[in-house]
Amino acid sequence: MDLTNPNDPPPDYIASAAAAGIRLRQSAPVRRGPYPLELPILTHLKSKRIILASASPRRKALLAQLGLTNLEITPSSQPEDLDKKAHTPEEYVAATARRKCLDVYKSVLSAEGAESNEDPALVIAADTIIATRNGVILEKPKSEADHIRTLKHLRDTVVHRVLTAVCVLAPKVDASHPGYEIAAHTEETRVFFAQENDGLPDDVIESYVRTREGADKAGGYALQGVGGMVLVERIEGSVDNVIGLPVRKCLQLCERVVFRQGEEEVVEDSD
């Protein structure tokens, strides 16, 4: 190519530099991202129909990080109307997650009576609540005033518990009664709020509430967001449990109902 001929097309920059004897600094090679996590249960589920009985984008994102991106999102229509005063926080959250799981599974099977869709290989349901120091169950704030009141209470009582119950269900291979395998676990994380004299006065709480970040979350804050930076001092236990799904325990439950069918159902509580 004649670089002095204006009729020639524009030259390739690297080839032109080489032809002129100019050394170029080459860009670094493109680095690949982390390789996917390879576990037998994940490999098995990636080709199956999995239903997440929750509309929570955070639970969906946590499972997607493991490579489970083929989830069907089917929230339960079951009302969360158990009497909180008649149940301990652990009983309430476990019963609610189980009701969601069974409700979605039975609803999907009923809907498929008129259709020929593949039966779900797995249903995952979860419920998250906040249990205050004196055992009161908190869920999502009902209004801005309630939101502010809730966060001030969590600050003034220093520590609270986040309980997430996970319930998973898979159809039985031998179709024996009741037709499905089910297992559950309740995980607990202790969350310590910052104090009024240590960076969390009322105006910081009110400003946080106005961000609306925690408006749709149990307890009214997001550990993975601004709330984790301005409200929370420290935690004891699983971070992903506070976000909405204790992932490691969820995988263990999946292995149990898929690979170890026939074992007696185990309903676990967090240590």
Give me the amino acid identity at 257.
V
Dist. CA 126–CA 94, nearest whole Å: 9
Helix (H, G, I), strand (E, B) or coil at 144: helix
Q: How many CB atoms lie within 10 A of CB 192?
A: 14
Distance of alpha carbon 73 from its chain centroid, rounded? 13
Radius of gyration of the chain (CA): 26
Output the CA torsion 93→99→101→102 (10° steps).
Answer: 160
Helix (H, G, I), strand (E, B) or coil at 123: strand
Cis peptide, bond prior to residue 40, ω within 30 of zero: no
Residue recorded with tokens 């009497």: 83
∠ CA 211-57-47 to the nearest 5 degrees? 165
Active centre residues (catalytic): 127
Give me the amino acid identity at 247.
V
Dist. CA 57–CA 78, nearest whole Å: 19
Dist. CA 212–CA 1, nearest whole Å: 62
